[in-house]
Structure 1
Amino acid sequence: MKINKAVIDKYMQICSYSTHKCNSFSEIEYKINRAVFLGKVLRTYPYREIQYGNLKFTVDTNTYTIIDLERNEVDTYEVPQYRKLAYERRYYNIVV
Structure 2
Amino acid sequence: MKLRMTESLRDRVKAMADQQDVSVNKFLVKAVENYLQWKERTPPPTRVVRRPVAAAVAESPSEDLLPPPAGGVYVACPCGSGKKYRFCHGGKAK
Task: Classify the TM-score, shorter chain.
Answer: under 0.3
In the superposition, the TM-score normalised over structure 2's length comes to 0.26
* Larger relative contact order (CA 8 Å, sep ≥ 6): 1
Greater Cα radius of gyration, structure 1 or 2? 2
